[in-house]
């Protein structure tokens, strides 16, 4: 925001930085925990296998991940709005306009290929 206030024009990278912050806040802790488990299994020789979720557990897990995606997008939009308000020059922030579209489609596609996909292709338990 500071280089934009000093007269620089926004670039795609400024929007990418907002997306990075949103993703980090929403998924950071979960991603670090997963990476720690994978690295520990690789370097210490411990056994780490993720169990595949089936049934409603898979749908609920996908809904939780989708909710994190919505949180990330809310943070991205908040940062973009703050940046454009702070700079208050539409010509300097024109490159950020695409970043008002990308997160929306991400939420839409994540829902289709996340919770909806799990619901439609519901994996049922073999022990009925």
Cα(99)–Cα(72) distance, rounded to whole angstroms? 13
Token pair for residue 32?
């670090």
pLDDT attached to residue 125: 55
Cα(111)–Cα(118) distance, rounded to whole angstroms? 10
pLDDT attached to residue 112: 96
Provide the residue-wise pLDDT of the chain in tens; the chain has 128 residues.
777 878 888 899 999 999 999 999 999 999 999 899 899 888 988 887 878 788 888 899 999 999 999 999 999 999 999 999 988 888 988 999 999 999 999 999 999 999 999 888 876 555 44
Cα distances (Å, whole numbers) of residue 2 to 78, 87, 88, 123: 17, 9, 13, 50
SS3 state of residue 48:
coil
Full-model pTM:
0.84
Please, are residues 52 and 125 in contact by the beta-carbon 8 Å criterion?
A: no
Token pair for residue 72?
């990330």
């Amino acid at each position: 925001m500071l280089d934009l206030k000093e007269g620089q024009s926004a670039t795609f990278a400024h929007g990418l930085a907002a997306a990075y912050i949103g993703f980090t806040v929403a998924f950071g802790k979960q991603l670090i925990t997963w990476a720690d488990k994978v690295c520990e299994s690789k370097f210490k020789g411990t056994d780490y296998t993720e169990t595949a979720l089936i049934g409603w557990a898979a749908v609920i897990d996908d809904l939780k991940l989708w909710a994190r995606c919505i949180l990330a997008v809310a943070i991205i939009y908040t940062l973009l709005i703050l940046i454009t308000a702070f700079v208050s020059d539409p010509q300097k922030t024109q490159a950020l306009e695409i970043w008002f579209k990308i997160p929306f489609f991400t939420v839409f596609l994540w829902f289709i290929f996340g919770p909806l996909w799990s619901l439609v292709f519901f994996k049922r338990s073999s022990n009925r």
